[in-house]
Homo-oligomer: A and B are copies of this chain.
Amino acid sequence: MVQEERNIAADVLKAMAHPVRLGVIEVLADGERTVTELYEELNCSQSMMSQQLKILCQQKLISIRKDGTQKYCSLSNRDFLKLFDCMHLHLRKFLNFKD
């Protein structure tokens, strides 16, 4: 990676580096959701969710389609789901996270 790529990659990682945003990615792995479904499922406010979705969208981690008054969110790059496997192992092996 060259300098400029690392800058952008850092931004993408920053976009993922938040509990709610990680939650969104995890939920969307299971399939499309509306904004309301997301903030209810992840137990946060509408405003909060809207802000977090914007960040994920900017980095093209999710995409959004409109249908009437609702918006449906889905993962645009399922490749990053690999990260959850790595992370799962890392939590247990290196940060001795207990189940």
Residues of A within 8 A of B (CB): 1, 3, 5-14, 16-19, 21-23, 26, 59-60, 76-77, 79-80, 82-84, 86-91, 93-95, 97
Contacts and interface: CB of A to CB of B under 8 A. Distances in A.
Chain copies in complex: 2
Interface of A is mostly: helix
Given A6-B22, A10-B21, A13-B13, 14 more contacts: A1-B84, A8-B95, A9-B19, A9-B91, A10-B18, A12-B87, A13-B14, A13-B16, A77-B93, A77-B94, A79-B86, A82-B83, A82-B86, A83-B83
Which 3 A-B pairs rank lowest in CB-CB distance, beginning with the nearest?
Answer: A13-B17, A60-B94, A6-B19
Contact of A9 (B9, B10, B22, B93): B22
